[in-house]
Structure formats: C-alpha cells, structure tokens
Amino acid sequence: MSPTTKPNYIWGAGEQTIEYSMRIGTNANGDDSLRYFVTASQTDELRSLELPSIYMHSLVLKGLATWDKPRRQSEADDHGEAYSMKHDGPHIYVNIKIPDGLFSLGLYDFNKDGWKDENRFRDYSISIRPHRDELNITQIKNFERQPELARGTIRDFVGGVWKRFLVRGPQELTIELNRNYSFNTILAGVTLDSLDKEPAPYFRTWEQNRVLDSRRDALRLALSKQTPAARAKRFAAGTTVEEVAERLFAELQRMRLTGRAKTVVMSFRWRASTATNFKVQHPKTAT
C-alpha cells in the first residue's frame, strides 16, 4: 500500500476501492509522524517484495525499470530509534476498511539489517481489533478498549516473514504493530488478497464474478439454515481414502463460506492397519 488513501495497485481488491491509513501511535513527540524509506527502488533481492506486474510493466514502458530487477526494498518506520528502548511506542497502526467478501489480510516484514547493533532486537507483537465506525479512518482513539480479534508476533525475520489473517467484510479493522521495546518498528507491506484461485479480471469478467458471488451468498444462506441433523448426514462413514479426502475438502469449503469456528473429525483406514485421524480446526475469523 502507498501512504495515501487513494486506490493503487493492490492485488485482490477487485473493483472496490480500499480505504485505509497508516500512522504512528499517540505516545510520540507532537511533531513526529510515520516515515517511509526506499532502500532500493529496484533490486533482485528475494526478501524484498515483488512489484505488482501491471505497475512494473508501466515502469518498464517509461524506461524507469528493467525486468531483471522486479522488486523494491522499502519500509514504513515509526521513528522508534529517536526514543529510548524503555519507551512504550510509538508503534505502527494500520486502519483498513475490508470490503464485502472473504480475504487474506497479510503483513510482510523484512529485517534487512537485523544482523547488527540494536537492529537485532526488533521483536514485535500484532493485535487486530475493530475500528469504530464513528471514527475517521485516520484515528485510533480507544484502540486498546476494543475486543481483540487476532494476535501474533514478528521476530527473527532477517529472512522475511508473512503473517496472514482470514477476514470477512464488510468491516473496519485496526492493526497495531507494537514496537515491544525494540529499537524501532518497521513494516514492509500490508496486503489484502482474494481467496479466489481464479480472480477477476484475469480468469473471468467482473460480471461473471458477481454472478458467482451471488451463488456463493445463496449457498451460504442455505448452509446457515441447515439443521444439525442435516449437517450430520454429511459425516457418514466413507469407504475409500479418495472419497473421505474429497468430502473433507468440500466441508472445509463450506466452513469458509459460513465463517463458523468448529472442529471437523474424520477417520479412515490407511495401509490396511494404520488408522489416521484427521482433525481440522477452522481458523477464527474476524467477524
């Protein structure tokens, strides 16, 4: 994402504009703000994020880039290096409006100089909470009073690390990347990806995509109205490994549609005498 709330080259957003903002916390000097650094505008360093292909192509056409270096090493910085490591903050906050649908919300971080000096002590915590509707997209007031929907950590990320969360929109979320008394807080990227394996407009038109979404919504509504007895019928004993695996996959697809947290347990015989239990815990979704 760019440091603006204007639409840009964000994979997975489709036709919908993604409104968001990035900032530091309130426990900072009055004139301080989030900083952005581009260490290398073009690089082949595999730990740096790859530029979106459409944007990369536009740079090549303008003579501003070459295809052999399709990545950019850049980051947002909370300017924590200007404060004592005993200071709580400033931290990085990302407010984002999730459009209707199911998405993977991702954070990517890369400790590019984490082998030396205080940079080795970068160790962050992640907290995702609702962003209050009445607040401006740039505000984070009373963040700590909101219920925590998901949490995580980022540490030992010299090699780069992804943290992904399953989210369903429409809703507004605030992501806190807590400095955790490190040297400073850096963040290389925030992504919102479609879970569709064949996303529009690359595999189908937007109109075809809307028809498919309508069918999914109808299936989701039907699943939500199913009785326990009707659901239980789907878990009758299977006769082959292939049949059970296919039914397990289908059940996971249903859980993606309904967003319910549940445990699916299926058992079958494998190699004659070895019984294997499959336990699939559906991830908690931010709803």
pLDDT tens digit sequence for 182-200: 999 999 999 988 887 787 7
Mean pLDDT to the nearest integer, 144-165 = 94
- 10 Å Cβ neighbour count for 25? 19
Give CA–CA dist 220/240, Å, rounded. 28
Contact yes or no for 123/182 (Cβ under 8 A): yes
- 10 Å Cβ neighbour count for 31? 5
What phi, psi does 43 have (nearest 5°)? -155, 160
What phi, psi does 109 have (nearest 5°)? -140, 150
In this prediction, residue 128 carries a pLDDT of 96
Helix (H) or strand (E) holding 215: helix 206-224
| Domain spanning 20-194, CATH architecture | Sandwich (2.60)
The two three-digit tokens of residue 268, written as one number: 């079958």
Contact yes or no for 48/73 (Cβ under 8 A): yes
Nearest alpha-carbon partner for 260 in 218, 224, 231: 224
Residue 174 has pLDDT above 70, yes or no: yes
Task: Specify the 3-state DSSP secondary structure of 95.
Answer: strand
Mean pLDDT to the nearest integer, 218-247 = 82
Give CA–CA dist 249/247, Å, rounded. 5
Percent helix, strand and coil across the chain, each rounded to 5?
25, 35, 45
In this prediction, residue 7 carries a pLDDT of 41
Confidence of residue 15 (pLDDT cuts 50, 70, 90): low
Domain ranges of the chain: 20-194, 196-225, 226-287
Contact yes or no for 79/90 (Cβ under 8 A): yes
198-210 per-position pLDDT tens digit: 877 778 888 888 8
